[in-house]
Amino acid sequence: MKKGRFGIHGGQYVPEILMKAVNELEEAYNKYKDDPQFNRELKELLDNYAGRPSLLYYAEKMTKDLGGAKIYLKREDLNHTGSHKLNNVLGQVLLAKKMGKTRVIAETGAGQHGVATATAAALMDMECEIFMGKIDCERQALNVYRMQLLGAKVHAVESGTQVLKDAVNETMREWTNRISDTHYVLGSVMGPHPFPTIVRDFQSVISREARSQILEKEGRLPSAVLACVGGGSNAMGMFYNFIGDESVRLIGCEAAGRGIDTKEHAATISKGKLGIFHGMKSYFCQNEYGQIDEVYSISAGLDYPGIGPEHANLYDSKRAEYVPVTDTEAVDAFEYLSRTEGIIPAIESSHAVAHAIKLAPTMSKDDIIIICLSGRGDKDVAAIARYRGVNLYE
């Protein structure tokens, strides 16, 4: 297999001026990934700063209510900064530090990756600049202020459609201005090689823990693991250590927005075509001339027209399944989990919860489902209130 490929997907489709940066990153990653000192430092950060291992929680009320498979939640929402994003960011910022970089830049959609990057930058004394679509800045205003509190400079991206894909465009452009002191902390399992591999490795801690936790609690493997998919980092983290366990179904839940038969969705696997964009070959929502579609989801974090190359390959090989989940289903699931378990999930993670609500009753009581609860929903409360027509007062 060619370097950085997952089947036919992946690769390094970046301008020549960035090749030096991606090659340098690959070299550094290969040097440090098995370095005992690096791994000690990373483990220390994950255990004593992020709060790992995260809980594997038995959702007993939900299980009883749905009356089928036993449901567990992998509680990435309990990670410091409120989502799985910190797992990758701590790894990458530590790596950047080892590479002698003094400045990090990152894109963000919902703001979770931006907040995580700003956090790690504050902790590790790095200069930090975050690029966020102007529309996302408005829908996630609290996260913008959070990043500023953490000392980051936030750029509202006004080019293109002013959402996540445009934030990625601008961050890549910014990287072409400065590579000597700057590392691009890519937030998902996407982009040019080596990013999909690096991010997957740093996120695979989710399934490494979940697999041993479920074996300890239940003495057997789950029947299915579920995660929401935008670019696909929490899903890749949740799937990775189960890929070899053929009995475990891997189910990614894509944002179907207002429905996959409308134009307003971000369901890349359901509706996308093979293409080359943002440094990688994978599936993308695009028109007949290869123009990237404007996609839509209530969730800013899933509002992305592509999917990471390893997911595209897991889909091709039929090892993983990808299902569409609409805004309405996700919002219902958001409210359901809040009321049933007293856990307010991120609207992104609610897509996975929504599919579990459909799936669990069709399974037997001997089956086990693990849902990756990738983030907490505090950031979404105002948007959900708006969606329900509730007026919130300051």
Q: Which helix (H) or strand (E) holds 211?
A: helix 205-218
> Which stretch, 12-20, 38-46, 228-236, 359-367, contacts another protein (CB under 8 A)?
12-20
CB of 244 to another protein, least distance (A): 29
Catalytic pick among 85, 101, 271, 281: 85
CB of 113 to another protein, least distance (A): 18
| Using rule CB under 8 A, residue 276 touches another protein | yes
Write out the DSSP string of 152-189: -EEEEE-STTSSHHHHHHHHHHHHTT--SSEEE---SS
> Which stretch, 115-123, 126-134, 160-168, 370-378, contacts another protein (CB under 8 A)?
160-168
107 counts as catalytic: yes
Tokens 């993308």 sit on residue = 284
| Using rule CB under 8 A, residue 68 touches another protein | no
User: How would you class 109 by CB atoms within 10 Å of its CB: exposed for 0-12, middle for 13-18, buried for 19 or more?
Assistant: buried
- Where in 235-274 is the site for another protein (CB under 8 A)? 273-274
Report the amino acid identity of residue 122.
A
| Using rule CB under 8 A, residue 277 touches another protein | yes
| Using rule CB under 8 A, residue 19 touches another protein | yes
> Which stretch, 54-62, 202-210, 289-297, 366-374, contacts another protein (CB under 8 A)?
289-297
Among 30, 159, 247, 317, binds another protein (CB under 8 A): 159
In this structure, the strands spanning 273-277 and 224-229 are: unpaired
> Which stretch, 36-44, 65-73, 102-110, 157-165, contacts another protein (CB under 8 A)?
157-165
CB of 153 to another protein, least distance (A): 17
| Using rule CB under 8 A, residue 11 touches another protein | yes
Q: What are the backbone angles phi and psi of residue 63, rounded to the nearest 5°?
A: -55, -50
DSSP state of 70: E
DSSP helix/strand/coil, 10: strand
Which among 24, 8, 10 has a CA at the least distance from the CA of 191?
A: 10
209 counts as catalytic: no
> Which stretch, 41-49, 50-58, 138-146, 288-296, contacts another protein (CB under 8 A)?
288-296
The structure tokens listed for 302 are: 């899933």
CB of 2 to another protein, least distance (A): 9
When the beta carbons of 286 and 374 are compared against another protein, the nearer one is 286
| Using rule CB under 8 A, residue 16 touches another protein | yes
Write out the DSSP string of 236-297: HHHHGGGTT-TTSEEEEEEEEET-TTSS--B-HHHH-EEEEETEEEEEE-B-TT-PBPP---
| Using rule CB under 8 A, residue 180 touches another protein | yes
**Which residues face 5 on adjacent strands?**
10
207 counts as catalytic: no
| Using rule CB under 8 A, residue 30 touches another protein | no
CB of 276 to another protein, least distance (A): 4
Sequence-distant (6+) residues with CB within 8 A of 272 are: 283, 284, 285, 286, 305, 306, 307
Among 64, 173, 220, 339, binds another protein (CB under 8 A): 173
Give, in degrees to the nearest 5, the angle at Cα 223 between 205 and 319: 70
Whether residue 26 contacts residue 193, with contact meaning beta carbons closer than 8 Å, is answered with yes
DSSP helix/strand/coil, 312: helix
CB of 228 to another protein, least distance (A): 23
Catalytic pick among 26, 76, 107, 310: 107
When the beta carbons of 20 and 64 are compared against another protein, the nearer one is 20
Q: Which residues of the shown chain bind another protein in the complex (CB under 8 A)?
A: 3, 11-17, 19-20, 159-160, 165-166, 168-170, 172-173, 176-180, 273-279, 284, 286, 288-292
| Residues designated catalytic | 85, 107, 374
